[in-house]
Structure 1
Amino acid sequence: MKSYEVNFDGLVGPTHNYGGLSYGNVASQSNSQQSSNPKEAALQGLAKMKALMDMGFQQGVLAPQERPDVAALRRLGFGGTDAEVIERAAKDAMPLLVASCSASSMWVANAATVSPSADTADGRVHFTAANLNCKYHRSIEHPTTSRVLGAMFADQKHFAHHAALPAVAQFGDEGAANHTRFCREYGEAGVEFFVFGRSAFDNRYPAPQKYPARQTLEASQAVARLHGLKDDGVVYAQQSPSVIDQGVFHNDVIAVGNGEVLFYHEDAFLETEQMLAELQSKLAKVGGKFQSICVPRSAVTVEDAVRSYLFNSQLLSRPDGSMLLIVPEECHGNERVWQYLQGLTSSGGLIREVKVFDLKQSMQNGGGPACLRLRVALNETELAAVNQGVIMTAPLYGTLTEWVNKHYRDRMTENDLADPQLLLECRTALDELTQILKLGAVYPFQIN
């Protein structure tokens, strides 16, 4: 039976704005308060989805969240009609309104951790929504994320869904941004690679001093238990605290893996040699041959990696066994990074081609190609059981493009977030979107 890695890309939401909400994310903070273009952002994301589909890769779409999140503002003490809630928040606590309007759910690499059926004890694909509790504006996402994933992967015979971990610092969970899976074939048993920034209960692990470590070891271990993973099929590794303090807020900013290959920066991890040996040993037990590509700091500095998002790329397997790297335009604009990539692809190694995409709207807010997609390994039967309304096709691309052009603004500033009309625009758009994607009622305004 054939198996596939399906990339479900996050559709950028109608309130895409540069709120500068993510401390530790250099791009997010440096572009704070600039004017954004939600329409362009959504169309750039859709263009990437369409391009990958046209190249023969399985592609899906994951719906955005309802924003502003009026219910979240009500929990913080703002009352009255929906319009009055927004008006009072804008007057008395503008930062809270900005947080409630964040479109960061577009980066669905943070939405959940996914384990394919070949790895799990019960033979189902398991999903655990990430609690994202390190940042308030993201911590409010997981209830809707769970409903959307439940509507996409509804067949309980094939799919199992777990609630987010307890929303406390000790179990900080950032989803697939700190999770990679290695395997020989997508439908075969593999090794799941969990990267953490700190331990909540064991002070033997060093912690960063400047920026927060968002993923804990304990959260990764809990997800592995929930998914029924075997000890021989799991490797835990600590991200280097020093690179976190340089703006590497997730592992997918400094490393990316796919199939049997890990592409990583020399300074990405602590205990690198031990980690590589464990990955090699455990993958060999299930018939795989682990391979790694280390980018030396002499060729690309951590600063270069953060500014270009070299590692926040998509590493995709082609039928001939070679790999394709999807990178943002910023890699082409960085002389050292582009020189390294030209040498990499001309060497006849594993990565044979690099394709560049313009994702400036996402990049300016701190997310690149890898942030925009949640990877789900599925066999043919499981793929057929997915809600087919979310699988990208040429007609769906056309419909979604028309939908964006109809509903999205082409300019968004902080002052625009205080406009109650924006909430009505978003709800109208999302209500139509749930019909397009055949999701049913997944948003609070549709349920309450």
Structure 2
Amino acid sequence: MKKFHVLIVGGGSTWTPGLLKSLCVRKETFPIDHLTMVDVDEKRQEVIGEFAKVLFKEEYSDLQFTYTTDLEEAYEQPLDFVFVQMRTGGYAMREKDEKIPLGMGLIGQETCGPGGFSYGMRSIGDMVKLVEHVRATNKDAWILNYTNPAAIVADALKRIYPDDDRILNICDQPENLLRSYGRLLNRDPRSFDPVYFGLNHFGWFTHLYDESGHDLLPELRQLILDGGFRPVDYEQRDQSWLDTYAMVEQIVRDFPDYLPNTYLQYYLYPDKVLEKLDPSHTRANEVMNGREKRVFDACREVATNQSTAGSTVVHNDAHGEFILIVAESIAYNRGDHFIVMVKNEGLISNLPDDAMVEVTASLTANGPRPYAVGEIPVFYKGLIEAQYAYERLTVEAYLENSYSKALQALTLNRTVVSARKAREVLDELIEANKDFWPELR
């Protein structure tokens, strides 16, 4: 069995330990010869890198492993897969993405609304640089991208690299939802055959078939209405995530046709969500004071003790495992089903062909083979078309250095609506992102 060369970009992420553990768990099904991690933040990368050395010594002793901040060293080696989870600007900029809109009475969220716009404008440039670096020496490497906001990044990359069929944008939130459904139904989520449509962080499950072809969605809907909804790993989640999943019950009660992606709460109930958000303490603060501190403290402890015994950071989570089972399906031409982002091209027949939609697809050695959804109802079509226009205008604002298109994008966003507020928040975000964004004229 071939052993792969893998690069993790954003190796200093709090999500990396789970990915590294998943590599160990799946070493027989996705064997790796050489793994490199790269991150521009030397301190973060060192903490995770030293943890990784101990983990691999215990569980993956024949793996060749290095970590670095040298981008040329990372990209110029032979590569089969590049796993990307960058956060341009780090948590410091995420905090601004969330707090600047909240200070103006608008939703402040990492990937939605003005915060997502801000983050997307930062992410595009770094993702383009990454693709250029990888393709300079590795024409055939698969780039599996987690970088957010994935919808904006996916649209930008498809426009800039229309013929590069080895860039695949994925998101673990549909996978998290499937695993949560599995726990609620007491079933293996990998046995589900889901039908899903939408944009990233903006979609719905219409059916959830079991091995016999029976649709489990009606039963699941009733379970949610009767008992609420929690993430599969709710014991490890911060309170804000528990609150987010809890909103699914309200969405299903109001719009019972389908089961929603959790992020739809920000677009359907912006006033209700806004009431619960604290402008002085956002999810960025919760992560920095919570998960980030826990992960880095645990990694330092492992490195100090030279042992993972009893460590709370060593676990196989959905984020880490999902990207690996996606890679396995591609590497071995398995054609397994996943929810991924692809160009529409008639999959959702009454949406624009060039939209980067999120649907179920079989993943093969030649890429995704998506399943058509057909025509969707007017309500969902209207929501998606407005969100698609916002995302497209965001990408065009970046590529054309266009202030007017940035203003149009934010005005269209359902969390903003007001052109006056859109201009106010845009001007504040321009100032905050002067070291990251192109100059808008």
TM value normalised by structure 2: 0.28
TM value normalised by structure 1: 0.27
Structure with the larger RCO, 1 or 2 (CA within 8 Å, 6+ apart): 1
More helix by percentage: 2
